[in-house]
Structure 1
């Protein structure tokens, strides 16, 4: 067995023993060997230890000694000056040292030291820098001697053949103030990455396909993040610099792959690069585009949702403009299944036209259509402002307005779900007036726009409520989606609607809903948006399943009814007939609409006194010609008579 391999196995067994909390005596007793044998094997002083002895020790301390290479391999005694000798150090993932194909095991501190030196090949690394890594910024007073000791131990492991004969290469040189790792004669994956990526960069303009292959070769060596098993090195400037270089090369590779319609070729390399910095938004944008370009649009949109959630949870920020552009370009792509790769479009030279308007095999750049470029900016289009006019003057409902304000405040404090208010009550009780009044009063809170739809849930005139798909199509057009890009099914249209509202601040006012099922397809999927629904039904399914805030409306109070009449007629008329004014409020059941129609008739006929109108309405009610409802019977009577011309008694 080669000397370097004996030491590697010995150090590995010793490190495993210490980790297991065992003494040499305990290992010897359990393995049924002498303490002297344990000591000599750990020091690498047994030239050809028996396989059975090593296996016993390894079993006791929990060490896979075979990982250091089988002792029976004839290659293990090859020296650096002999044919077939190879020495490899892999940094692009877990640190791995291979000598003629066999792994070299070493303790943690030696691994950290080698990682620090090898990531800066042929450069001086100071004693202070080494001490900072080995002792995490808390080096002992005599750290220089200790550093020298660890370097000496590392040399015994990685300088095969150096020993007493001095035939091997000196991998670590002592220089003034520190040490240098000499990379000559070492197969260093970091160097191969740098060389291939530089060649790709130089070749890209003249031969893009050759450059794409070179980029692939450069990135193929990455098996994870740089020095993946040595987290104490991740923040070191040299490691950060190489990691950033990895990301930069991956982005260049992705841009070229997307331009050449080879998105699928890029996806895995991009994912590995993202291990370095999972929240690197430029890189994540390329991963999204590459996934969509290889026919995996759903995966691309899931990645967007996951990234947005992480950004908000970990950093408290929304995705950057670049992420939004990628997300919306994916949503608006009208190619088959969102595919853009040649594999989905036909062979090179087929002239298959991409949705963006250029032949796929000659597509010069991943530039979307003018609409996509505009739609990719979530606030570039004029925000929709679809609220109906507010009914003025608006009287009362202070309690309900306060509930709506509280729901909005709850959302702005970071509530994780969409805010939904379900305003319900009998016909003509003022549900729409309340919703529209509050929406106008708070419209500045919804900077991305306000969407409105009359769902015609009562449907006296048409006989059927509006299909949610019709409303979805209208909403999508309002958000800038052309008719040709609106999905065919309601489920897909609803998903697109939710995606366009994700991360934004919209108010959606859904008036006169028939039931929760009619509303559900029109709900945003992410917080920040707020929905106000009005309905004759309490919408209990929406309350229980979607967590809607139920807001019940009853008739106005006597004081509010009096104030409404006075606001319309003026204090002169009401003060002249205060008792008749109160009686008018009562005979109208304190319903807002009946009161408005009554005062409208009084305003149109100045000679008609309030008392005379009250007498007329009371007489008609007594004759049972018209169903004037008391406050107690209002719900059942109004529901029976909805849409039957019940108001013309006031004309």
Structure 2
């Protein structure tokens, strides 16, 4: 038994349709069934079903439940269940895809698409025929199902059917089934006479059948209605002159040799489906084709493998031969090509220009495929171009060949490192899917990461694993983890397949300044870098990144950012000169730019140690909060990596200072785990420096990080470790303020108030007016929590006045939020709302994501108390979105409030 949607809808036993409900209601029952089947086992809401059944018309959930009941009862008799999920009217019909015609159709068409991308038209033909067999005669999809939703699905499926039919006609034509292809094309053209892709197929099929007149007539009928596209006009011109090369058999009558010079292909090619599809599109015989395709990529990324694999898959489309040359050892390439084309040695001219002219003459009127690898420059390629539109030249290069890229019609394709799914496909092709699936997923992911997604490295590791089939991949992973030994672990000793050797060929072609930058980039510990970081490394204002990018030794994953994959970084470290000043310049770039960002975000929070940046360091200017926040966000991983590297490199000053300068941003953005990890590194650095004050400051920050993670008891223990180390009033104020907050988190509010008052006394002793304002606000807050509203109001009002005198927006927001709480608890709701709204606007502007969310939550509380439930719900929804973005547990309580309020609305 199977389900059908591609024709009359229903459950069928052979050709007999099973009755699924009352006759009068069957179209609606079939609509519900179609919606459930198209969901492919995913849950479907009652609201969606109502839309499918009635669209914009009045809906009746009770009637829909009646249809569901009829369908459930009928399906149960044949072994299918239709349960309802939860209480919200959600339904799920889990049917194996091979029991539903539409899923079989789509699966077969997708398989055909992938085969076509690989050039396997014969196999694609079988899948396309199988896909169209799923349709039941000439019937429309969802036949008999009423409504706008069904009409939309019907149109979509008809488009898919037409696309599959067009592909089938093309596949038949490519496989030499000219009569069948012609019949298909004529039927499709009759249905859609303005579809030029179909008209071209009709013209091409008629031409190959020897019916030149009909081919031209098909074009002229189209031209009477519209202006044909260039591809259609070009095909008509070739038909009019009866181009002998316009067909799969080819042939021009000349008695010449047919070279077959393409190297052998790997039996384990995988992971490049998208790139193969792009090459297939570029070389489509029925459309305009570029005369040259440039395939770029870094060393070891698989340019040659892709080019040769694809060239072999389309070799039949180039019946006059395929020529190949590796230009790294140029020799006499032209003489070799001419000899392969049948020119006797004694008839070869002596000069290079004459040789090139003879090659172009022989290529004219032929369809040749030429693959050229690793040229030194564009000029070397230019001498080997045939100059004929019927030929295609594919060039693989590690360096951009701009002179060729701007040639008319030229196309370029850049190969990137493999992502994890593509890398898994490559490993599976070489090791077998069963063995790969038997390995822990995290081990395979780590192997791919350590190989940097580089196909050459993955192929080598796979070959090693295949030789030792009883060795788990985890052992190979351990070998690759050894820092500084990764290239040894994947060395082959064979130049063309050894990563170290392939990297060296690219490196030794670089000009001296670019080669120096390449070496110095091994010092960068993070995932990517900017021009400013590269300039700081070199100590020069204009680092030659363009040369490294053109040589594909660095990539640009985003505008203004650059990256070097891990294996290239390791090779760069091997050839690196000993220049300690470069590392200090790089670390100074991050430290002093982070300090500048921190001064913008919180000018009263942290003080750098006063050591100026080294000469040659570029400090990125940051004009405002938005610029500072954007820089800290973009550099978050780099800052963490630099701090950790500095600790290992014996430069603990950076390990202490960098986390301190990042703390404000991390707290505001809710990046509390990053904050915690950074402070652990800072604590190790402070202990190495041996400065008691630094150790105390870092213990305070580490305790604060734990508190933000909701680990108040652990935070309190860390804070108490700082108590004996704190002797000066400024640190005493910071420590007591933190202790008050932690005690409050543990519901020890009287102790929190007492500790906040101690913090206020220490702040006054320190003479720091901002510290006094912060402590006053803390004292006011805890008084408010204890219900001492007037004391709280006086304290927080003083704090607000001080913050306003200092122009401290973060402090103004905090004091306004405290005043909002005080007025709310005193039932002065209008005043509470006014203060909360001021705080909310400032937190959004800063931005401080957590405090913004918390203030929105409190605004919702106040609006609810004022009996304004719709506005309260709106505030809570905004708060919930922010809490969820932060993955903060406070979102659960907000969600409960929303649920209760929504039930009343």
Give the TM-score range, shorter chain: 0.3 to 0.5
Task: Name the structure with the higher helix share.
Answer: 2
TM-score, normalised via structure 1 length: 0.38
